[in-house]
Each structure stands twice: as C-alpha cells, then as structure tokens.
A = this chain, B = another copy of it.
Amino acid sequence: MKTGFIGLGRMGSAMAANLLKAGHEVTVFNRSPEKLLPLIELGALEAGTVADACRGELVITMLADDTAVADVAFQNGGIISVLPKGAIHLSMSTISVELSKKLTEAHAQAAQQFVAAPVFGRPDAAAAAKLFIVTAGNPGAVKMCEPLLNVLGQKTFPIGNTPASANLVKLSGNFLMASVIEALGEAIALISKADIDRQVFVDLLTSSIFNAPAYKIYGGLIAAGRFEPALFAAPLGFKDIRLALAAAESLRVPMPLGSLLHDRFLRLLAEGGERLDWAAIGGLAGRDAGEPHRV
C-alpha cells in the first residue's frame, strides 16, 4: 500500500523503518528534515510538504501532541485539504478525545476516512515491532490498515467504530501506568525508610504478585532514583494525564487518583523536572518522607 508517514520522532522513525523493511512504499515527511536521511537510506521517498505525503491511499501521523496533529491536519495544504476522497488518515499519536472527534468530523465532511490507532510501547518496543495498538473507526477502513498495523505491533485491539474511543483507551492506559508509578513511589518510600533494600523489594514484588513489565521497569527506576535520560519525558506524561482528566471532566467522571497524578506532575515541572522521565513523579514520595533531594 502506498503510504505517507508524517512525524519522525523516536517513535515515528522506528515505525516507518519497520514499514520499509516489510516492503511497503513509504513517503516520509518531517518538519526538521535531518530525520529523513536514515529512512531514505532504507528506501523511503522524501516528501517536501505535508501534501506530498498525502498522495497515496493512506497517511499515518505519529506526532507529539494535539497541536502538532491539528497543525498538519487543519492548516492550509494540510491533510484534510489534500488527502484524496476515500483515503485514510491513520492517526497513531496520543491525542485528546476532543481533537479525535474534530478530526472524525472534518474527515467525514471531506469524504475521507479517519482511523485512530494509538499505541502502547516505548521507542524500543516500536523498533522491535512489539507495540500494542488500539484501533477504532469505520470497520472497512480499520481492516485496510491491518496489514500495516501487523508490521508495526505485536497485537491489535479493535475497540469500536468511534475513533475517539481508541484515544480514550490509550489515555486510560497511561493513567493506569502513571498510577503504578505513584503507588510504587509511595511503597518504596515506605520500605526504604524502614531500611529495607529498595531493589530487593522490587525484585520480590516482580517475581511474585506483580510480575509485569511496568512494575519491573518503573520499580527499578524509582529504586535507583535514576530518572535520566528520559525514555518518556515528564511533560509528555503530564500531557496524557491532562488529556485523560479533560475527557473525564467532560464526561463528568471524578478521578481523585488522576487528580493526585496531575498535581504530582505539576510539582515536578514547577521544580524544574522538564527533562526527566515521567517516572520521576515516583521520587516525590521519598522526598516528602525526608530523603535527600536527588533531582
């Protein structure tokens, strides 16, 4: 399938590379063009404009946030104005429910298709094609995306016809992940102040009742107090919690744990934690217990 790919950050670059390696024809676009080179070496075609990436049957966007996606979608010469009728915008970024609804409507009015397919997984999972992908949209359109999605991830979960549902599921997943970080942060602060070895505690938990990657990864980072370099930066984590809470507010769902996470991120950023991994909110409980400030 002739595919455009817009957004070559760490996630997007790894994903586009996998599509190329699987033999797909991919035309890539990125605002800062230096990201294009490694992909061109893998056989990608270069798009000079957003429009150049929208000449096939499908264009993927994998961008940092709502602003970036809205920009490439709604600007003059943006996706909505140039994508052929019937073609698909496959949106894999983590965006708001609100923007997803706007895109759904705008694409429908332009007789285009809109599929939301946000992913779970960090850049290493993207590179290894081990992403988990949640899809939602018109079933026919979702079906057309499948060959590509199968290249990008280890499993795809169709969640219904409303694209925004996939985005909400993704945001809820990140809320759950941040909850793990907060819970581990508090538990580790507690046992640590009783002179129990932090890493032994994490190993014990993750060899028994919490035998899941999230607990291993974040438990290890918090136990070590090691929040740099960021694999998933705190401002991005904050963005996702804010988007989850924005959806919750408009649906009138109080989420007190969500509010706690929101306030943790706000504090982390107020204290200058912009470049830290989002796991750094898991270090705040220890600080409040009187541990020396490591940030």
- Listed by A's residue number, 19 A-B pairs whose Cβ atoms lie within 8 Å are A159-B201, A160-B196, A165-B191, A169-B196, A169-B201, A186-B253, A186-B258, A190-B247, A209-B214, A210-B212, A211-B212, A212-B215, A253-B270, A253-B285, A254-B288, A257-B257, A259-B260, A259-B262, A267-B288
When the two chains form the complex, which single residue of B159, B259, B285 contacts A204, counting CB atoms closer than 8 Å? B159
Cβ of A248 and Cβ of B175 under 8 Å apart? no
When the two chains form the complex, which single residue of B165, B175, B255, B266 contacts A252, counting CB atoms closer than 8 Å? B266
Beta-carbon nearest neighbor of A183 in chain B = B179
CA distance A172 to B184 in the complex (A): 9
A contact set with B: CB distance below 8 Å: 97, 120-121, 132, 134, 155, 157, 159-160, 164-165, 168-169, 172-173, 175-177, 179-180, 182-184, 186-187, 189-191, 193-197, 200-201, 204-205, 207-215, 242, 244, 247-249, 251-260, 262-264, 266-267, 269-272, 285, 288-290
Give, as a whole number of angstroms, the nearest-CB distance from A289 to chain B: 4
Beta-carbon nearest neighbor of A178 in chain B = B183
Cβ of B252 and Cβ of A269 under 8 Å apart? yes
Cβ of A251 and Cβ of B194 under 8 Å apart? yes
Known contacts A190-B172, A204-B159, A208-B155; is-contact A182 B289 (Cβ 8 Å): no
Beta-carbon nearest neighbor of A189 in chain B = B253
When the two chains form the complex, which single residue of B157, B159, B210, B244 contacts A214, counting CB atoms closer than 8 Å? B210
Cβ of A205 and Cβ of B173 under 8 Å apart? yes
CA distance A253 to B252 in the complex (A): 24
Residues from chain B with Cβ under 8 Å of A255 in the complex: 186, 189-190, 263, 285
Residues from chain B with Cβ under 8 Å of A269 in the complex: 252
Residues from chain B with Cβ under 8 Å of A194 in the complex: 97, 164-165, 168, 247, 251
Known contacts A120-B208, A253-B285; is-contact A168 B191 (Cβ 8 Å): yes
Cβ of B190 and Cβ of A248 under 8 Å apart? yes
Cβ of A289 and Cβ of B257 under 8 Å apart? no
When the two chains form the complex, which single residue of B207, B272, B288, B289 contacts A251, counting CB atoms closer than 8 Å? B289
When the two chains form the complex, which single residue of B208, B252, B266 contacts A270, counting CB atoms closer than 8 Å? B252
Residues from chain B with Cβ under 8 Å of A172 in the complex: 187, 190-191, 201
CA distance A197 to B136 in the complex (A): 13
The 10 closest A-B pairs by CB, nearest first: A179-B183, A132-B208, A259-B259, A270-B290, A212-B212, A252-B270, A254-B263, A253-B289, A254-B266, A267-B288
Cβ of B257 and Cβ of A169 under 8 Å apart? no
Beta-carbon nearest neighbor of A290 in chain B = B270
Known contacts A260-B260, A266-B249; is-contact A169 B186 (Cβ 8 Å): no
Residues from chain B with Cβ under 8 Å of A175 in the complex: 183, 186-187, 190
Residues from chain B with Cβ under 8 Å of A263 in the complex: 254-256, 259, 288
